Structure 1
Amino acid sequence: MLNDAVGFEKFFIATGYTDLRRGIDGLASTIKFQFDLDPFQKHILFLFCGKRTDRIKGLVWEGDGFLLLYKRLNIGGSSWPRNVINIDKSGFSYIFFDGIILQNVDYNTVIII
């Protein structure tokens, strides 16, 4: 699912470090209170990374419940963005298109938070 990101209208990438011990309720409250966004939007993927860059969590509202995604990269880690200032489209393609996470993504659908 994370390798082929078909079906999502937007991607929100949470920069910095997220405590990946958080589950659905903790990540949804982070989306709502820290980023002032609605976690109950359909076809929206929220992505989070902890201090270890080989583990990534995603949260999606499917209309009848949340889907919590967890991916542990087999080889190495990603160059996860730690702040908004250092991100541009070329940085995004480097982070995510080196065979790590997302493919076939329109840059206009990616929002860095």
Structure 2
Amino acid sequence: MECARSKCLMKAIYWDRTGFALWQKRLEREKFRWPIKLQDDIILVSAEQLEWLLAGLDIVKAKPHETLHFDDFT
């Protein structure tokens, strides 16, 4: 994934079993809540984090609740 400097354009490249595909989205009014500058310009995100980005959430601050299992309480 990569985001333009203006943070209104996002591009993703992915493998779809027959070749690489490029996906792009440009926001008309808002900006993507892209993480602060990292060492690399390109970061890997999970499917869940991609949904968060597209919904306008900050993927660094948005963390899901920890999954608990019944035997954790004993």
State the TM-score, normalized to the length of structure 1: 0.34
RCO comparison, higher one (Cα < 8 Å, 6+): 1
The structure number with the bigger radius of gyration is 2
